[in-house]
C-alpha cells in the first residue's frame, strides 16, 4: 500500500532526506557490530540474505557485501526491509539472540528518528509495518495483535492481513483478508465454525451477558453489520475497495477484537 500519499499531506509519518541518511548511518554501525561478532554460520546467513533480497545467490558472501547492499538504498522503507531480511536470516539459523538484537536496535533507531514504522514479530520472524496515527496503531492494531497470541489461528490470519496491507495494492483482497482475520477470531473466540455473518447473534448475546448497555451494544452490532456489508459489497464479491477505506477497515477489525478480549479479560478477573 502506498501509505505515504495521504499521510505526507497530513504531516503524519513525514520523512526527509536527513532522516533517511541518519538511518543509513545507524544501520551501517549495526552491520559493523555484527561483522565483529563473528557468528557461526556466517556464510549461510549471508547467502540466505542475498537469496531473499535478490532471489539469487551472489558469488561472494561477507558482511561488507551485506552492508553495501543496505547502504545502496536511499529510501527508508527499502533500508528497513533489507535489515529485517537480515534479522530473519539470523532467526532462521537459530541465532535468535542476534535476530532480537537487530530488532531492538532498529526499533531504537526508529524511535530516535521519529520514523513511522513498526516491527512486528510472529513465529516466522519479523516484518516491517507502516504506522498511521500513533495512538490508533498502538491501541487497536499493535495491542490486539499481541493479545491474539491466545488465538493462534486468528493471529496467523491477522499477520497475513497486516503483511499484505503493508505491501499490496490490491485493496479489495486486503480488505477481505481483514474480514477473514476477524471471522477466524470470532470462530476461535466462540468455538464455532459458523461464518462471521452467522456469528452476529453470538456477538450480541456475549455483550448482553457482560452487561454492556444497549446503546453501546447496538452501536457495536451496527459497526459489525456495516463491516460485513462493506466487505460483501466492495471486496468479497466485487473489486471496489478504495485505499482510503482500507485503514478504516483495519482499525475496525482491531477495535472489535480489542473490545471482545477486554470484556473477556475483565470477566475472567472477577
pLDDT at 140: 54
Domain locations in the chain as residue ranges: 4-131, 137-269
pLDDT at 190: 93
3-state secondary structure the chain: CCCHHHHHHHCCCCCCHHHHHHHHHHHHHHHHHHHHHCCCCHHHHHHHHHHHHHCCCCCCCCHHHHHHHHHCCCCHHHHHHHHHHHHHHHHHCCCHHHHHHHHHHHHHHHHHHCCCEEEEEECCEEEEEECCCHHHHHHHHHHHHHHHHHCHHHHHHHHHHHHHHHHCCCHHHHHHHHHHHHHHHHHHHHCCCCCCHHHHHHHHHHHHHCCCCHHHHHHHHHHHHHHHHHHHHHHHCCCCCCHHHHHHHHHHHHHHHHHHHHHHHHHHHC
pTM, rounded to two decimals = 0.57
Average pLDDT over residues 81-101: 86
Digit-coded pLDDT (tens) for 195-215: 888 888 888 889 888 888 888
pLDDT band at 244; cut points 50, 70, 90: confident
* Separation of alpha carbons 169 and 133, rounded Å: 20
Digit-coded pLDDT (tens) for 102-156: 888 988 888 888 787 778 776 667 777 666 545 445 555 667 777 788 898 988 8
Mean pLDDT rounded to a whole number for the chain = 80
Digit-coded pLDDT (tens) for 142-195: 677 777 888 989 888 888 888 788 777 888 998 999 999 999 999 999 999 998
Digit-coded pLDDT (tens) for 19-74: 888 888 899 999 888 888 878 888 888 888 888 888 777 666 788 888 888 888 88
Q: What percent of the chain has pLDDT over 90?
A: 7
Amino acid at each position: 500500500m502506498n501509505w505515504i500519499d495521504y499521510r505526507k499531506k497530513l504531516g503524519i509519518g513525514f520523512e526527509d532526506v536527513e532522516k533517511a541518511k541518519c538511518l543509513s548511518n545507524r544501520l551501517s554501525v549495526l552491520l559493523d557490530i555484527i561483522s565483529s561478532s563473528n557468528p557461526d554460520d556466517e556464510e549461510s546467513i549471508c547467502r540466505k540474505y542475498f537469496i531473499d533480497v535478490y532471489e539469487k545467490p551472489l558469488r561472494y558472501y561477507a558482511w561488507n557485501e551485506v552492508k553495501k547492499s543496505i547502504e545502496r538504498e536511499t529510501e527508508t522503507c527499502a533500508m528497513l526491509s533489507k535489515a529485517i531480511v537480515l534479522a530473519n536470516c539470523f532467526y532462521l539459523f537459530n541465532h535468535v539472540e542476534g535476530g532480537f538484537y537487530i530488532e531492538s536496535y532498529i526499533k531504537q533507531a526508529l524511535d530516535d528518528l521519529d520514523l513511522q514504522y513498526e516491527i512486528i514479530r510472529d513465529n516466522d520472524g519479523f516484518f516491517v509495518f507502516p504506522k498511521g496515527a500513533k495512538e490508533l496503531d498502538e491501541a487497536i492494531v499493535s495491542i490486539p495483535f499481541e493479545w491474539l497470541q491466545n488465538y493462534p489461528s486468528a493471529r496467523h490470519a491477522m499477520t497475513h492481513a497486516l503483511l499484505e496491507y503493508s505491501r499490496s495494492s490490491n485493496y479489495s483482497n486486503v480488505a477481505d483478508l481483514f474480514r477473514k482475520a476477524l471471522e477466524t477470531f470470532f470462530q476461535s473466540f466462540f468455538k464455532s465454525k459458523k461464518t462471521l455473518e452467522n456469528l452476529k447473534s453470538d456477538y450480541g448475546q456475549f455483550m448482553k451477558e457482560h452487561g454492556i448497555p444497549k446503546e453501546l451494544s447496538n452501536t457495536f452490532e451496527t459497526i459489525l453489520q456495516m463491516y460485513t456489508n462493506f466487505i460483501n459489497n466492495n471486496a468479497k464479491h466485487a473489486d471496489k475497495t478504495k485505499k482510503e477505506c482500507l485503514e478504516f477497515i483495519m482499525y475496525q477489525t482491531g477495535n472489535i477484537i480489542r473490545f471482545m478480549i477486554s470484556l473477556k479479560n475483565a470477566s475472567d478477573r472477577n
